Homo-oligomer: A and B are copies of this chain.
């Protein structure tokens, strides 16, 4: 795309200006439709240093109502300081429905730069290319219009521009060491950009723009944006279909086949609880020092004992290094973004433990059964979630998922007890009773969920919780074992 790139020809200035004016006003006129149709647009602007990314953005937004757009410069963070997954700065900055986000450099620059600095291995680079493709597909399938532009200038043009920036004291500071390195290594960078675009061109294609004539660049970018927006508005919000992808799955039993009879004696419980909590406390130290992130997910039947279980896990942890994130119904600003956004934004920093009290699996349970999303949406979600969790594990996270399981009789007994005990009444709502009536539908959905998302890297554990104490010991044991394994693996990597 870049090596054989043909420069545009000079065009008549007044014609260009008229075109730009026309296109800008068309774009401005579409803002309200964007809002009505809830179309979110992400414009990714990549390109050479001094190619004019900033000034292009300025032109693109010049006619837009500030309530309709947002400019992001997802910081290029040195790998050593990154405390979040690679995609984190991008996934947390996606636009709301009905608005535009302009990314002034994004995942391409971030990745190519790390590769050129040898901050990441070739293998890691390949993985991240895969993550990028998955991320772009998830956005597209979630109804996002994603427009990817690369602003191209040749080496001579870049030299001239950097030179004139350096010549003036008030613009000097804009040229970074990184820019100079890029210029010196122009050919290497060109190959790297080229290869990146080759590998990420299938789902959402790249548009390389000649950035040597500013007005032409603006016109071309505006034209692309306007045409693609018109098309997207005309065809209605896109909903992606479920897609085939193979994940390494663990074979899991159906809920009905799980033996719920195991119990533990009070004496054993106390002993085990003490031992495991002490061990967990030690492990938390090591996790923290070695910056291993941990994500623990709790799902389960109402009254299964999630809360008490979480408390026993949380107790031995240093409160400075862990967090419980209760997940309730999404708020408007959350509903207005791709459904995983509200989980991306809640991820722990590396070295921290985050316990999710309910999770992204709401998509394939309550949202599926209550019709809060389309069939395509929840069917697609299994693989999207597998991808999301793979992102987490590739970042180095330990991901553990619990289904806290009881049978219907036990639930009824606990509901009744709550109803009859004044201090517990608040724990039981009309909704709980309504959900209970849908037990068979939920059971079917949970079985499907566990079957499709119990990956080797992020397996489900069905926790027998008719005896709550037994359940607590089991989750603690699983967590301790998983952390021990992760620490061993981590130390091996560091040492070996």
Chain A interface mostly: helix
* 0/1 interface trace, chain A 46-60, chain B, CB 8 Å (1 if under): 000000001001100
* 0/1 interface trace, chain A 168-194, chain B, CB 8 Å (1 if under): 001101000000000000000000000
Could you tell me the distance between the alpha carbons of A62 and B316 in the complex, rounded to whole angstroms?
9
Could you tell me the distance between the alpha carbons of A307 and B69 in the complex, rounded to whole angstroms?
13
Residues of B within 8 A of A320 (CB): 54, 71, 73, 104
Complex partner residue of A65 from B29, B73, B307, B319, CB under 8 angstroms: B307
A289 within 8 A of B: yes
Could you tell me the distance between the alpha carbons of A333 and B330 in the complex, rounded to whole angstroms?
11
A67 within 8 A of B: yes
A440 within 8 A of B: no
A357 within 8 A of B: yes
Given contacts A173-B289, A326-B67, contact A61 B319 (CB under 8 A): yes
Could you tell me the distance between the alpha carbons of A357 and B66 in the complex, rounded to whole angstroms?
8
* 0/1 interface trace, chain A 286-329, chain B, CB 8 Å (1 if under): 10010000000000000000010011001100111001101000
A51 to chain B, nearest CB (A): 14
Could you tell me the distance between the alpha carbons of A286 and B173 in the complex, rounded to whole angstroms?
11
Given contacts A54-B319, A289-B173, A320-B104, contact A314 B61 (CB under 8 A): yes
Given contacts A62-B311, A282-B170, contact A67 B324 (CB under 8 A): yes
Residues of B within 8 A of A315 (CB): 58, 62
Verify A319–B104 contact, CB threshold 8 A. yes
Could you tell me the distance between the alpha carbons of A64 and B357 in the complex, rounded to whole angstroms?
14
A63 within 8 A of B: yes
A388 within 8 A of B: no
Verify A319–B58 contact, CB threshold 8 A. yes
Residues of B within 8 A of A170 (CB): 282, 285-286
Could you tell me the distance between the alpha carbons of A320 and B45 in the complex, rounded to whole angstroms?
13
Could you tell me the distance between the alpha carbons of A65 and B355 in the complex, rounded to whole angstroms?
13
Residues of B within 8 A of A66 (CB): 307, 310-311, 314, 324, 326, 355, 357
A310 nearest CB neighbor, chain B only: B66
A424 nearest CB neighbor, chain B only: B32
Verify A63–B311 contact, CB threshold 8 A. yes
Verify A65–B311 contact, CB threshold 8 A. yes
* 0/1 interface trace, chain A 65-89, chain B, CB 8 Å (1 if under): 1110011010000000000000000
Most chain B CB within a 10 A radius of its CB, from A67, A282, A315, A423: A67
Verify B426–A32 contact, CB threshold 8 A. yes
The A436-459 residues at the B interface (CB cut-off 8 A) are none
Complex partner residue of A331 from B36, B62, B332, CB under 8 angstroms: B332
A26 to chain B, nearest CB (A): 11
A25 nearest CB neighbor, chain B only: B423
Verify A71–B319 contact, CB threshold 8 A. yes
Residues of B within 8 A of A171 (CB): 285
Residues of B within 8 A of A282 (CB): 170
The A95-127 residues at the B interface (CB cut-off 8 A) are 102, 104
A178 to chain B, nearest CB (A): 15
Q: A66-B326, A71-B320 are in contact. List 7 more A-B contacts (CB 8 A).
A: A58-B319, A66-B311, A104-B319, A104-B320, A170-B282, A173-B289, A331-B333
12 A-B interface contacts by CB (under 8 A): A32-B423, A32-B426, A54-B320, A58-B315, A58-B319, A63-B311, A66-B324, A71-B319, A73-B320, A170-B282, A170-B286, A173-B289
- A residues adjacent to B (C-beta < 8 A): 29, 32, 35-36, 54, 57-58, 61-67, 70-71, 73, 102, 104, 170-171, 173, 282, 285-286, 289, 307, 310-311, 314-315, 318-320, 323-324, 326, 331-333, 355, 357, 423, 426-427
* 3 residue pairs, one from A and one from B, having the closest CB atoms: A66-B324, A71-B319, A32-B426
